[in-house]
Chains A and B, each alone.
Chain A
Amino acid sequence: KAGVTQTPRYLIKTRGQQVTLSCSPISGHRSVSWYQQTPGQGLQFLFEYFSETQRNKGNFPGRFSGRQFSNSRSEMNVSTLELGDSALYLCASSTTGSSFGSGTRLTVV
């Protein structure tokens, strides 16, 4: 079974731009969660999608959004990028324990 796949692996964007990250969960997993990891704040929950519906949401501004498609693939979008959005963005699909992708490292310059 293929694991959780995140694309792209690395991304450099300029302040003010927007970015879309993609996550394909393990086949058969319907829940996809997104996390942001920074040296200062550690790992923080962004949101969770289940069957194309946002089920839970963390404490992030509205610039962070996401969606899930009928094949369970998920995208997250960050608009009006700020320097502080530079982070490793991790996606997880889950049943009991979560399986994480390798992440997308976003650098905002």
Chain B
Amino acid sequence: SQQGEEDPQALSIQEGENATMNCSYKTSINNLQWYRQNSGRGLVHLILIRSNEREKHSGRLRVTLDTSKKSSSLLITASRAADTASYFCATVGAGGGADGLTFGKGTHLIIQP
């Protein structure tokens, strides 16, 4: 069963704007990761944030984690057409990953040129 729920399911914005995606999860986690998938291809690991971290940056990406609300957000700044993809959050349980990565259903992001 899915651990996380991404919100929104789909998002369409203009190139240059910022895109924010949210993820909620249900159980205690060791870490939370964000992945990108282009057109049903493989997943690309974007960023990992541990349960004791609150914010992390990588280039144009900013991830926040609120363990009290069991939620995370991914912000992509200054979006580009190449950012068009599906974005998934995935959690590793506090037990250390006995269930592998548990994925949400993803947010489909479309960047309009």
List chain A positions with a Cβ less than 8 A from chain B. 4, 6, 33, 35, 37, 42-48, 56, 58, 88, 90, 92, 96-103, 105
Contact = CB atoms under 8 A, between A and B. Distances in A.
A105 B2 CA distance: 21
A58 to B, nearest CB: 6
Interface string B30-46: 00010100001111110
Interface string B65-108: 00000000000000000000000101000000111111111100
A73 to B, nearest CB: 17
Contacts of B106: 42
B13 interface: no
Contacts of B41: 102-103
Given A42-B106, A97-B48, A56 B100 contact: yes
Choose among A33, A48, A97 the residue with the greatest number of B CB atoms under 10 Å from its CB: A97
Given A42-B105, A43-B88, A90 B100 contact: no
A100 B90 CA distance: 13
A45 B45 contact: no
Contact of B2 (A42, A46, A99, A100): A42
Choose among B33, B43, B45, B47 the residue with the greatest number of A CB atoms under 10 Å from its CB: B43
Nearest to B48: A97
B7 to A, nearest CB: 15
Interface residues on B, range: 20 to 34
Interface in B22-62: 33, 35, 40-45, 47-48
Given A92-B101, A98-B33, 16 more contacts: A33-B101, A35-B103, A42-B104, A43-B101, A44-B103, A45-B102, A56-B99, A56-B100, A58-B99, A88-B40, A97-B33, A97-B45, A98-B43, A98-B45, A103-B40, A103-B41
A44 B45 CA distance: 17
A56 B103 contact: no
Contacts of B101: 33, 35, 43, 45, 92, 98
A91 B44 CA distance: 12
B42 A100 contact: yes
